[in-house]
Chain A
């Protein structure tokens, strides 16, 4: 029986012009599982993530969530996921809190106390009322992670989430991923470096 929170990616093919970027990629991700997608630059890691999100339609293959192709009811699927691209996706002229209020507010009703708690959890509560333009790259990354937390999604799709994080930030992110897994959530992490997480982590290597 297929779990209600089960991601299935089946035989994905993507071409970019003459380049066959993804050649029949398949994967499964169930509750409480973390999957690390890794490989060299240009292997198609981010492309795969965009396909899984539904931002990019593959030439061949299907992505299913809870047993249904995501194209059938994208709104339900999108509400179940939290996506962090390699860009922090913050508006420079809005404060960190305003950015979260907007992005999280589109997915669920949320109050400022909850958003501040998420910012505190990622160590950037002091930046809550500062415009994103004055934050460092690492702080912006932490605000983006606070958004992922505040959305309270079952499925996390993270593209190079360790970029710009210092050692304590990287440790914090690993801890958040483990907590998410322990609560029954699942995550697909695209990263070119080796990830050190407390418990076993599944890996999928994409070739050039």
Chain B
């Protein structure tokens, strides 16, 4: 009996999650990086509450962006190096579906995990608890968008020996709107203002990349692997 696309995507998702859990360093490294970088700012500047609160959105978002970048290079590289990517291409399943499942698994172990630990960092940066929901929502949307952008970059650089620098150069400029609107949403929430505008913008970016990035990443992978 043939296998439907949803079932195939579920298999890819489960496999990638299982692989991440069996290599906990892949899960832990970006989180530790995120925690350390955000802790360095109060240590190097000033522990004064008002200054920390003022800097918090920028610190939080730049750290999140860099932490997410750390794991992007591995999105397709492991599969390409051990030959399983070829098997995926020849599985008779839609490569777009496979890319979606792999990217979503990547977000779960990088972006979603980062969102879950963000309240710890927020407390260290004196962000009020009332701002946590907006901060976490904006980070969730932003990191998911980053994962989609990362999928395009990872698809383009998977064939290069040291592709991680090029991947950063491709993804970082595309991630600028996320940084601006994500930090803005967090800043407004800290000030007790409505952050709806920035959140809508982040949401629309997330929808746009969810729709288009799988197509671009699939095309990039096909070109690179030929």
- Check A92/B93 contact, CB under 8 A, given A55-B225, A102-B15, A105-B3: no
Q: Which residues of the other chain, A, contact B1 by a CB distance below 8 angstroms?
A: 108-109
Q: Which residues of the other chain, B, contact A105 by a CB distance below 8 angstroms?
A: 3, 11
Least CB separation from A102: chain B residue = B15
Could you tell me if B92 and A102 are in contact, using CB atoms closer than 8 angstroms?
no
Could you tell me if A93 and B19 are in contact, using CB atoms closer than 8 angstroms?
yes
Is B87 among interface residues, defined by CB-CB distance under 8 A?
Answer: yes
Q: Which of B78-86, B119-127, B157-165, B193-201 contacts A (4 or more CB under 8 A)?
A: B78-86
The range of chain B's interface size is: 20 to 34
Is B46 among interface residues, defined by CB-CB distance under 8 A?
Answer: no
Could you tell me if B90 and A88 are in contact, using CB atoms closer than 8 angstroms?
no
Q: Which residues of the other chain, B, contact A94 by a CB distance below 8 angstroms?
A: 15, 18-19, 22
Q: Which residues of the other chain, A, contact B91 by a CB distance below 8 angstroms?
A: 78, 103, 106-107
Is B62 among interface residues, defined by CB-CB distance under 8 A?
Answer: no
Cα A98 to Cα B19 in complex, Å, equals: 11
- Pick from B18, B22, B89: contact of A55, CB below 8 A: B89
Is A173 among interface residues, defined by CB-CB distance under 8 A?
Answer: no
Cα A2 to Cα B90 in complex, Å, equals: 24
Cα A78 to Cα B86 in complex, Å, equals: 11
Cα A190 to Cα B89 in complex, Å, equals: 20
B1-20 interface (Cβ within 8 A of A) = 1-3, 8, 11-12, 15, 18-19
Q: Which residues of the other chain, B, contact A55 by a CB distance below 8 angstroms?
A: 86, 89-90, 225-226
Cα A85 to Cα B84 in complex, Å, equals: 10
Closest Cβ–Cβ distance, residue B17 to chain A (whole Å):
12
Could you tell me if B226 and A108 are in contact, using CB atoms closer than 8 angstroms?
no
Is B88 among interface residues, defined by CB-CB distance under 8 A?
Answer: yes
Could you tell me if B11 and A102 are in contact, using CB atoms closer than 8 angstroms?
yes
Q: Which residues of the other chain, A, contact B88 by a CB distance below 8 angstroms?
A: 106
Q: Which residues of the other chain, A, contact B19 by a CB distance below 8 angstroms?
A: 91, 93-94
Is A65 among interface residues, defined by CB-CB distance under 8 A?
Answer: no
- Check A85/B18 contact, CB under 8 A, given A76-B92, A108-B1: no
Is A182 among interface residues, defined by CB-CB distance under 8 A?
Answer: no
Is A31 among interface residues, defined by CB-CB distance under 8 A?
Answer: no
Least CB separation from B4: chain A residue = A109
- Pick from A78, A87, A93, A98: contact of B92, CB below 8 A: A78
Cα A91 to Cα B89 in complex, Å, equals: 16
Give the number of chain A interface residues (Cβ < 8 Å).
28
Cα A55 to Cα B80 in complex, Å, equals: 13
Could you tell me if A91 and B82 are in contact, using CB atoms closer than 8 angstroms?
yes
Cα A107 to Cα B90 in complex, Å, equals: 9
Cα A75 to Cα B11 in complex, Å, equals: 18
A105-124 interface (Cβ within 8 A of B) = 105-109
- Pick from B3, B8, B22, B87: contact of A89, CB below 8 A: B87
Is A81 among interface residues, defined by CB-CB distance under 8 A?
Answer: yes
Closest Cβ–Cβ distance, residue A6 to chain B (whole Å):
19
Least CB separation from B2: chain A residue = A108
Q: Which residues of the other chain, B, contact A91 by a CB distance below 8 angstroms?
A: 15, 19, 82, 84
Q: Which residues of the other chain, A, contact B2 by a CB distance below 8 angstroms?
A: 79, 107-109
Could you tell me if A89 and B18 are in contact, using CB atoms closer than 8 angstroms?
no
Q: Which B residues form the contact surface with A (CB < 8 A)? A: 1-3, 8, 11-12, 15, 18-19, 22-23, 82-84, 86-94, 225-226
13 further A-B contacts with Cβ under 8 Å, apart from A57-B226, A83-B87, A108-B2, are A56-B226, A81-B90, A83-B86, A83-B90, A85-B83, A87-B82, A87-B83, A94-B18, A98-B15, A106-B11, A107-B3, A107-B91, A109-B2
The 15 sampled A-B contact pairs (Cβ below 8 Å) are: A54-B90, A55-B90, A57-B226, A75-B94, A76-B92, A79-B2, A81-B90, A83-B90, A87-B82, A90-B82, A90-B84, A94-B18, A94-B19, A105-B11, A108-B2
